[in-house]
């Protein structure tokens, strides 16, 4: 599959990231598992980092920044998978976060996050969903087991936390895309979250 505006899997840094993460693995399922863990843990989840510059959403830029919310992290995983020859697309759903921080709840004015992004990978003849959003360190801090993906089944955000309380609830599916529909997503955020800070001031590297 050819490189796209955002899924620049032919960029040297994306290739280096993918090859290092995969190591000696050759089975597609194991390759996908290692790529998932690298995208999950090496890019710090930051829901307050919402750039509006399109260049910040390229997979190579996500690597350079080292942080991002669910959408750029999914972009990186899809690009890395394509670099390794795995068919991959971007998927989006609206989710309700029952463990949302007070700071984020105040900024968003709701517990529903629109256009939550995840990767959709073709493995074993099936399209599987995998969300690399929350890094291990963050999960440990909030008492939720980090999400794992073994390449044989979906890995979507947990419906319950470690104590049995409600965590993530998928409320609407937006389908899958061959490239990032960025303007649609940013327009949706601007309408839905007028109190959320977006723009150049948020585009500082970690």
List of the chain residues with pLDDT < 50: 98, 160, 163-166, 200-206
Token pair in block for residue 197: 């800070």
How many CA within 13 A on the CB side of residue 16? Answer: 6
Task: Report the distance separating Cα 154 and Cα 131, nearest Å.
Answer: 9
pLDDT at 204: 34
Helices 70-83 and 28-42: angle between axes, nearest 10 degrees: 150
pLDDT at 166: 47
The model's pLDDT over 104-132, given as tens digits with 9 standing for 90+, comes to: 667 777 778 899 999 999 999 999 999 99
pLDDT at 157: 74
pLDDT at 100: 58
Helices 70-83 and 12-22: angle between axes, nearest 10 degrees: 80
CB neighbours of 67 closer than 8 A, spacing ≥ 6? 43, 44, 45, 46, 49, 206
**To the nearest 10°, the Cα dihedral for 6, 169, 105, 206?**
-30
Task: Report the distance separating Cα 60 and Cα 77, nearest Å.
Answer: 11
Which helix (H) or strand (E) segment holds residue 20: the answer is helix 12-22
CB neighbours of 174 closer than 8 A, spacing ≥ 6? 91, 92, 93, 94, 115
pLDDT at 99: 56
Residue 39 near residue 133 (C-beta atoms within 8 A): no
pLDDT at 59: 98
Any alpha helices (H) in 123-181, and if so which ranges?
136-142
Count Cβ atoms below 10 Å from residue 147 Cβ, excluding itself. Answer: 20
Task: Report the distance separating Cα 188 and Cα 114, nearest Å.
Answer: 8
What are the beta bridge partners of residue 177? 90
- Answer yes or no: CATH 3.30.420 is held by domain 12-196: no
């Amino acid at each position: 599959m050819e490189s796209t505006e955002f899924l620049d899997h032919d960029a040297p840094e994306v290739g280096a990231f993918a090859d290092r993460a995969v190591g000696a693995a050759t089975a597609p399922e194991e390759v996908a598992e290692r790529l998932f863990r690298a995208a999950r843990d090496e890019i710090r989840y930051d829901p307050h980092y919402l750039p509006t510059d399109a260049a910040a959403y390229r997979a190579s830029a996500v690597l350079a920044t080292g942080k991002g919310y669910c959408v750029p992290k999914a972009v990186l995983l899809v690009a890395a998978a394509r670099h390794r020859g795995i068919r991959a697309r971007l998927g989006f759903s609206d989710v309700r976060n029952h463990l949302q921080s007070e700071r984020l709840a105040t900024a968003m004015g709701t517990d529903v996050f629109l256009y939550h992004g995840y990767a959709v990978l073709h493995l074993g003849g099936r399209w599987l969903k995998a969300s690399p959003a929350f890094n291990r360190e963050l999960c440990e801090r909030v008492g939720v087991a980090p999400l794992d993906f073994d390449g044989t089944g979906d890995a979507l955000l947990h419906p319950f936390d470690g104590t049995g309380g409600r965590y993530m609830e998928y409320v609407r599916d937006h389908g899958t895309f061959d490239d990032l529909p960025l303007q649609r997503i940013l327009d949706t955020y601007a309408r839905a979250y007028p109190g959320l800070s977006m723009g150049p001031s948020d585009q500082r590297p970690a």
